[in-house]
Structure formats: C-alpha cells, structure tokens
C-alpha cells in the first residue's frame, strides 16, 4: 500500500493505472476511521482493480463554531486498518495542496435545492463545502466508482445530484450504515461522547425505529409523531436539531405518490451532533 501527499504523484500513478487498463474505486474520508469506513473500502475492493482512499479534513465544510480544529487525526491507525483490507493507495493531501489559491478565492460547486434543506439549513454552506471537495477529489483521482455511507443520507443525495448535473463519468455507491451492537450509528464524532452521553446516545436510534414502526403501521400524522419523539429525546438529555419524515427520492415533503420515505434525525448530546436515518418502503 502506498501513501502519497502530492497531487502530481497521484496523477502519475493514475496515468500508469490507465495504461494498464485498471479500474479504480475511490473512498473519500476525513480519517479517524471506524468500521463504517472499512466497510466502504471492502465494498470498493469488490468492484475495481485499485482502491484509493483519501484522508483530508476539509475546512470548507465546517462552520465557524464547528469542530474543525479538534477533529481527531489518527493517521497511523487509519493506515494499518486500510492496509489490512487491501487498499492500494492512501491520498493525504495538505490543505495548501487542495486549496492552493486560498479558501477565500476558491471556486465552489453548489447543488441548489437539496443543499439548503434539513442538515443544510442547520449548517449553512456545509454541502457546498462537501460538493466542492468531492468534485476536486474526483478530478484528481478520476475514479470509475466512488463509495459513500448511507448514514450521511443527504450528503449522498447531494453527491448523486452533482454527478448528474455535471455529467461526471463515474458510478456512485451508497453503503448501509454500520452500527454498534446497541444501534448507535458509527461515526468519528462518537469519540467525543462522555460515558454518560454514550449511554444515552442509542436512544436516537431507538426513537427512529419507533417512528419507522408507526409509519409502517399506517400512521400518517407525521407532525404529531415528530413532536412526540422530539419531546422524548429532549427529555432524555438530547437537544434535537430536527426530526423529518421526507420522500427518500428527493428529500421533499412526502406526497401520496411516494414509494419510499426516509426518517432523518439530528440531535446534540452536549456539543456533539449525532445524525441518523432510516428508509421506509411503503406497500403502496
Ligand atoms: O463524509 C465525509 O467524511 C466527508 O463529508 C467527505 C465525503 C469525505 C468530504 O469531505
């Protein structure tokens, strides 16, 4: 397994792979890898000759009061975990290499509509930062396939829309959320939780599954369901940012024609923001 920092070195390797007619699967990450990321790399290995993983904590997708400076960096452990699953190349560029003209001069990629709702409303500019870095990394790696976790459901939708809108020539794969044994979705930010917060955290998943059950049993009074579960979570010690039941297709408010819905949730435990989601296929 190779580890490189320079964009030029990546481009040269890319040229060699091209000459050998090798296909490339790409997993973009911000490091501090957990089993969810490893699952992405394993899925990537199934579809291509070469697997590239990037580790880059992208300043453009963090708000001014968010955890950019404290985001955990565990490069040595990450390398060992990726080597163990047979990843071919880790790309760890510096912020200078990625944003060479400075963040304030950077050209953006902005996916309208879907970027502004739900998580995008709570984190203005976040999805613009994600779309911009993912587009830049796609231009550098030029993969045939790219893999993203379904835990970041809205991010996956934003990236799919960007790929369609900009006619990018690659296939996007969503990989199911990997969970701890108590249901908590794996996330690098789980490391921020205190022991007490970690004990409460699975209630986010439990409440989500209770909402799913209610909808599957035929309830359509979504605003009442949402209000009840917001209250339950706030009483348990969370500060709920949102609970939404949307069309899984476009994340708009659900209509009668929708065949699949998605429950999306975000809530703070102390300063740590946890998100989760679950799709519900309706029996029409
Ligand atoms: O999901 C993430 O870890 C990040 O948003 C991504 C896709 C690596 C872009 O920085």
* Residue ID of nearest Cα to ligand 1 atom 1: 29
Angle at 245 between CA 241 and CA 249, to 5 degrees: 120
What digits encode the pLDDT tens for the residues 66-116?
999 999 999 999 999 999 999 999 999 999 999 999 999 999 999 999 999
What digits encode the pLDDT tens for the residues 104-158?
999 999 999 999 999 999 999 999 999 999 999 999 999 999 999 999 999 999 9
Residue 284 predicted with pLDDT over 80? no
CA–CA separation, 159 and 142 (whole Å):
15
Cβ 130 under 6 angstroms from ligand 1 = yes
Instruction: Match 């300063």 to its residue by tokens.
Output: 271
Among the atoms of ligand 1, which is closest to the Cα of residue 130? 9
Per the annotation, the verdict on 37 as an active-site residue is yes
Choose the catalytic residue: 34, 37, 126, 145: 37
What digits encode the pLDDT tens for the residues 172-201?
999 999 999 999 999 999 999 999 999 999
Close Cβ partners of 176 (under 8 Å, ≥ 6 residues apart):
150
- Start-end of H helices in 20-177: 35-47, 75-84, 95-98, 119-122, 126-141, 153-165
CA–CA separation, 280 and 217 (whole Å):
11
Close Cβ partners of 134 (under 8 Å, ≥ 6 residues apart):
28, 146, 159, 162
Residue 247 predicted with pLDDT over 80? yes
Three-class DSSP category at 108: coil
> For position 126, what pLDDT does the model report?
98
Residue in 261, 192, 197, 205 with CA at minimum distance from that of residue 232:
205
Among the atoms of ligand 1, which is closest to the Cα of residue 188? 3
Mean of per-residue pLDDT scores for the chain: 97
Domains, in order of start, for the chain:
2-175 (3.40.50.620), 188-277 (3.30.1300.10)
Residue 14 predicted with pLDDT over 70? yes
> For position 283, what pLDDT does the model report?
78
* Residue ID of nearest Cα to ligand 1 atom 8: 29
What digits encode the pLDDT tens for the residues 19-65?
999 999 999 999 999 999 999 999 999 999 999 999 999 999 999 99
Radius of gyration of the chain measured on its C-alpha atoms: 19
Task: Give phi and psi for 109, each to the nearest 5.
Answer: -110, 125
Among the atoms of ligand 1, which is closest to the Cα of residue 57? 10
DSSP 8-state secondary structure symbol assigned to residue 9: H
What digits encode the pLDDT tens for the residues 195-244?
999 999 999 999 999 999 999 999 999 999 999 999 999 999 999 999 99
> For position 44, what pLDDT does the model report?
98
């Amino acid at each position: 397994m190779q580890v490189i920092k320079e964009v030029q070195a990546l481009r040269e390797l890319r040229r060699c792979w091209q000459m050998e007619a090798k296909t490339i699967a790409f997993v973009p990450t911000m490091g501090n890898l957990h089993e969810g990321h490893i699952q992405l790399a394993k899925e990537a290995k199934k579809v291509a000759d070469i697997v590239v993983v990037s580790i880059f904590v992208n300043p453009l997708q963090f708000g001014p009061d968010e955890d950019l400076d404290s985001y955990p960096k565990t490069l040595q452990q990450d390398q060992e975990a990726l080597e163990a699953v047979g990843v071919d190349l880790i790309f760890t560029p510096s912020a200078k290499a990625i944003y060479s003209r400075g963040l304030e001069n950077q050209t953006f990629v902005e996916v309208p509509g879907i970027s502004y709702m739900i998580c995008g409303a709570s984190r203005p500019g976040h999805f613009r930062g994600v779309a911009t870095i993912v587009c830049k990394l796609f231009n550098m790696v030029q993969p045939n396939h790219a893999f993203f976790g379904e835990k970041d459901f809205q991010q996956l939708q934003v990236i799919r829309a960007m790929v369609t809108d900009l006619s990018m020539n690659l296939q996007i794969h969503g990989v199911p959320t990997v969970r701890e044994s108590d249901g908590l979705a794996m996330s690098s930010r789980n490391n921020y939780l205190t022991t007490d917060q970690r004990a409460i955290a699975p209630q986010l998943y439990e409440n989500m599954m209770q909402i799913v059950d209610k909808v599957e049993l035929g309830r359509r009074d979504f605003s009442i369901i949402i209000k009840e579960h917001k209250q339950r979570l706030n009483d348990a010690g969370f500060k709920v940012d949102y609970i939404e039941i949307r069309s899984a297709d476009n994340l708009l408010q659900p209509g009668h024609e929708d065949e699949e819905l998605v429950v999306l949730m975000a809530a703070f435990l102390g300063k740590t923001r946890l998100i989760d989601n679950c799709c519900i296929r309706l029996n029409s």
